């Protein structure tokens, strides 16, 4: 299975106008419990190049380890794939990371893969028919502008709702099975 997880604002943005403008994410103990459980479900993490670079700078760092030890531990020890046609090796270096050039190679790399963030990669995987599940947490905040989850989509993407989970802080997790409209 290949699943993708991303957090968005109620108005559909995964980040604000600048890269990594995500200070509006509603993260608390309940979310962290969810994150730990979700990370434990998967054999390998997958990132697009830009998301990998940001994650590789944050998760091995002192702040992540100090403020979120359990998630940081899982992120740092998990096998990681960077899907990139331009990178020869993962940079910056991060434990257990490899580069794959083509999305079609992902199924060969593990049984259960979780794409984190990486909106362009997520949309591309959907359009190629490779993504089995899309997990979106909608944060109860309007940020007004930013980068849309589907800004790179080249056609309509239909989604079938599989499940919903409400968090006490107002976050809502929606899990979908994607289907690309042929028109």
What b/e string do you get for 17-48 counting C-beta neighbours within 10 Å, with b at 16 or more?
A: eeeeebebebbeeebeebbeebbeebebbbbb
Please indicate whether residue 60 or residue 152 has the higher confidence score (pLDDT).
Answer: 60
Q: What percent of the chain has a predicted confidence (pLDDT) above 70?
A: 95
44 and 81 Cβ atoms separated by less than 8 Å: yes
- pLDDT at position 70, please? 94
- The domain tally of the chain equals 1
122-151 confidence digits (pLDDT tens): 988 998 889 999 999 999 999 999 998 877
- pLDDT at position 182, please? 56
Structural domain harbouring 51: 2-180
26-65 confidence digits (pLDDT tens): 889 999 999 999 999 999 999 999 999 999 999 999 999 9
Least confident among 10-19, 38-47, 150-159: 150-159
Q: What is the CATH number of the domain that holds 133?
A: 3.40.430.10
pLDDT at 180 over 70: no
70-110 confidence digits (pLDDT tens): 999 999 999 999 999 888 888 888 999 999 998 888 887 66
- pLDDT at position 146, please? 94
């Amino acid at each position: 299975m290949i699943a993708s997880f991303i957090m968005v604002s109620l108005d559909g943005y995964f980040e604000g106008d600048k890269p990594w403008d995500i200070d509006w994410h509603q993260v608390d103990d309940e979310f962290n419990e969810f994150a730990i459980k979700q990370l434990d479900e998967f054999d390998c993490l997958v990132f697009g190049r830009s998301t990998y670079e940001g994650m590789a700078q944050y998760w091995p760092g002192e702040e992540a380890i100090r403020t979120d030890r359990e998630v940081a531990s899982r992120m740092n020890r998990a096998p990681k794939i960077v899907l990139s046609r331009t990178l020869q090796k993962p940079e910056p270096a991060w434990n257990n990371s490899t580069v794959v050039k083509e999305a079609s190679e992902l199924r060969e790399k593990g049984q259960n893969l979780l794409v984190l963030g990486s909106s362009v990669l997520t949309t591309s995987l959907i359009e190629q028919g490779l993504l089995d599940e899309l997990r979106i947490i909608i944060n109860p905040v309007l940020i007004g502008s930013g980068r849309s989850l589907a800004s790179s989509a080249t056609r309509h993407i239909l989604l079938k709702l599989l499940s919903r989970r409400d968090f006490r802080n107002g976050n809502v997790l929606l899990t979908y099975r994607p289907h690309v409209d042929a028109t």
